[in-house]
């Protein structure tokens, strides 16, 4: 109530109605964001924020990018939705673009990261069916979404609590541990499913030798490699896809988040031969790849290309990591800075990441605490070195002015 009483009546009303009518699945931050432009968003009290989270890697183009807004408005005025029982020109256009960028063969469209992973899980099982292969190995610390299949794939017991029994046929191994993975493979393994950089558990990149070993293992044993690029995909890491840092290629890849620039759309891509395991009737989505979602995604990819955002993520991300390391040297509060491009995690030497993020929010910087000692940054792909300087200045002041008291 203390927080509420400092807010205007309109803001208080939104917060109260949210408590009264919306299922309590999130502990929300005490702000009501109402509009944005580029790297900035504003709340219902008129306060301005520098956005270094981008809706958790969604608003890749920043907020209200004119080309994305125009593409959505134009398509909305023509045709928003049509059933997948009919041809939708945006789907092959978008699929062709994603196929050219990734080197994979075909795409299936859905509405979210979890749904993209559901499609990947089902496709891998269908592919492995004749050989009696159905088991999927995933990594501890992974995050693949909240539907039953995706949450079962998620190797974090806290997300399984309360929902057992989980989907059968999944096993879990420590990330970056080659011998544990080798030992987990059986004749029934149809897929190994991983994020190239684990995001939700604190920005942990795969070691290069780990992914190259997995690619070889999959080829030798007739196992599919599924890469969940929902967070790492589409320029985030300074390449179009995270796997391109490792010189390997997956058999199946999932995308969502940045794909629609803020409009919901997910995709599951696969090689031609793996994709052919799906035949009509095997998998579907009412809204998946509808004309509006495809228009948003095509515009998003065009802007990423036209504005060189892959290159910008690499360049600005390197500058960001360098600035954070310098901040660590000054403050002594930073144990590790890791990530690729504009997917950056900072491990603190202190255990008050949520309090630091809350204080940054008060001072106009949006960042994301993970657990007690990690801060994750996923700014829009349009971030400049000036934006980085502004963010690091706020974080620096917060670290220096707030001493952690145990
Ligand atoms: N996979 C990864 C790697 C993610 O980071 C997320 C979401 O954070 C998901 C899947 C789930 O995506 P969604 O929330 O769109 O279902």
Q: How far apart are CA 322 and CA 329, in angstroms?
A: 11
Region 381-397 average pLDDT? 98
Q: Is 233 near ligand 1, meaning CB less than 6 Å away?
A: no
Partnered with residue 365 across adjacent β-strands are: 50
pLDDT surpassing 70 at residue 376: yes
Region 307-336 average pLDDT? 97
Region 8-27 average pLDDT? 96
Q: What percent of the chain shows pLDDT beyond 90?
A: 97
pLDDT surpassing 90 at residue 402: no
Q: In this predicted model, what pLDDT tens digit does every residue of 274-302 receive, in sequence order? A: 999 999 999 999 999 999 999 999 999 99
List the residue whose alpha carbon is closest to atom 1 of ligand 1.
144
Region 367-375 average pLDDT? 98
Looking from the CA of residue 199, the nearest atom of ligand 1 is 5
Q: How many CB atoms lie within 10 A of CB 264?
A: 19
Ligand 1 centroid from CA 344, angstroms: 17
**Average pLDDT of the residues of the chain:** 97
Q: In this predicted model, what pLDDT tens digit does every residue of 127-147 receive, in sequence order? A: 999 999 999 999 999 999 999
pLDDT at 178: 98
Cα distances (angstroms) measured from residue 320 to each of 26, 60, 323, 327, 385? 29, 17, 5, 10, 8
pLDDT at 6: 77
Q: How many CB atoms lie within 10 A of CB 401?
A: 9
Ligand 1 centroid from CA 147, angstroms: 10
Helix 309-331 × helix 385-401 angle, to 10°: 20
Q: Is 199 near ligand 1, meaning CB less than 6 Å away?
A: yes
Q: Is 228 a catalytic residue?
A: yes
pLDDT surpassing 60 at residue 3: no
Q: In this predicted model, what pLDDT tens digit does every residue of 152-163 receive, in sequence order? A: 999 999 999 999
Q: Is 143 a catalytic residue?
A: yes
Ligand 1 centroid from CA 126, angstroms: 23
pLDDT surpassing 70 at residue 405: no
List the residue whose alpha carbon is closest to atom 5 of ligand 1.
231
Region 256-270 average pLDDT? 98
Helix 291-306 × helix 66-78 angle, to 10°: 160
C-beta of residue 119 within 8 angstroms of C-beta of residue 193: no
Q: Is the peptide bond before 336 cis (omega within 30 degrees of 0)?
A: no
Q: In this predicted model, what pLDDT tens digit does every residue of 161-208 receive, in sequence order? A: 999 999 999 999 999 999 999 999 999 999 999 999 999 999 999 999
pLDDT at 404: 58
Region 62-69 average pLDDT? 98
Q: Is 368 near ligand 1, meaning CB less than 6 Å away?
A: no
CA pseudo-torsion sign 161, 58, 53, 322? positive
Of the residues 108, 134, 170, 228, only one is catalytic, namely 228
Q: Is 228 near ligand 1, meaning CB less than 6 Å away?
A: yes
pLDDT at 5: 61
pLDDT surpassing 70 at residue 406: no
pTM for the complete prediction?
0.97
Provide φ and ψ at 44, rounded to 5°. Answer: -70, -10
C-beta of residue 339 within 8 angstroms of C-beta of residue 24: no
Of the residues 51, 257, 340, 352, only one is catalytic, namely 257
Region 94-113 average pLDDT? 98
Q: Is 113 near ligand 1, meaning CB less than 6 Å away?
A: yes
Per-residue confidence band for 403, with pLDDT thresholds at 50, 70 and 90: confident
Of the residues 52, 143, 241, 320, only one is catalytic, namely 143
Q: Is 229 near ligand 1, meaning CB less than 6 Å away?
A: no
pLDDT surpassing 80 at residue 1: no
Q: Is 230 near ligand 1, meaning CB less than 6 Å away?
A: yes
Q: Is 278 a catalytic residue?
A: no
Looking from the CA of residue 232, the nearest atom of ligand 1 is 3
């Amino acid at each position: 109530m203390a927080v509420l009483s400092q807010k205007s009546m309109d803001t208080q009303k939104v917060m109260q109605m949210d408590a009264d009518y919306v299922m309590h699945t999130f502990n929300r931050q005490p702000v009501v964001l109402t509009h944005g432009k580029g790297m900035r968003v504003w709340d219902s009290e008129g306060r301005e924020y520098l956005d270094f989270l981008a809706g958790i890697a969604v608003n890749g183009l920043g907020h209200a990018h004119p080309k994305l807004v125009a593409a959505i408005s134009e398509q909305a005025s023509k045709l928003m939705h049509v059933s997948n029982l009919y041809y939708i020109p945006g789907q092959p256009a978008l699929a062709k673009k994603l196929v050219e960028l990734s080197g994979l063969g075909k795409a299936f469209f859905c509405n979210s990261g979890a749904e993209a992973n559901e499609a990947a899980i089902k496709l891998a099982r269908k592919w492995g069916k004749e050989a009696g292969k159905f088991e999927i190995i995933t990594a501890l610390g992974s995050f693949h979404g909240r539907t039953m299949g995706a949450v079962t794939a998620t190797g974090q017991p806290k997300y399984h609590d309360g929902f057992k029994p989980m989907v059968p046929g999944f096993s879990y191994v420590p990330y970056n541990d080659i011998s544990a993975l080798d030992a987990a493979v059986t004749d029934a393994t149809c897929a190994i499913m991983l994020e190239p950089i684990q995001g939700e558990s604190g920005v942990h990149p795969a070691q290069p030798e780990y992914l190259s070993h997995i690619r070889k293992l999959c080829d030798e044993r007739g196992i599919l490699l599924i890469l969940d690029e929902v967070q790492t995909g589409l320029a985030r890491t300074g390449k179009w896809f995270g796997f391109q840092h490792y010189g390997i290629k997956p058999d199946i890849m999932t995308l969502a988040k940045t794909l629609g620039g803020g409009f919901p759309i997910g995709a599951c891509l696969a090689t031609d031969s793996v994709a052919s395991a799906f035949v009509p009737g095997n998998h579907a989505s009412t809204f998946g790849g509808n004309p509006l979602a495809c228009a948003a995604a095509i515009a998003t990819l065009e802007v990423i290309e036209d504005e060189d955002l892959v290159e910008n993520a690499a360049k600005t991300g390197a500058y960001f990591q360098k600035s954070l390391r310098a901040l660590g040297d000054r403050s002594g509060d930073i144990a590790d800075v890791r990530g690729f491009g504009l997917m950056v995690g900072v491990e603190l030497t202190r255990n008050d990441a949520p309090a630091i993020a809350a204080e940054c929010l008060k001072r106009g910087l949006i960042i994301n605490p993970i657990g007690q000692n990690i801060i994750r940054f996923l700014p829009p792909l349009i971030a400049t070195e000036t934006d980085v300087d502004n963010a690091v200045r706020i974080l620096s002041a917060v670290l220096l002015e707030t001493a952690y008291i145990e």
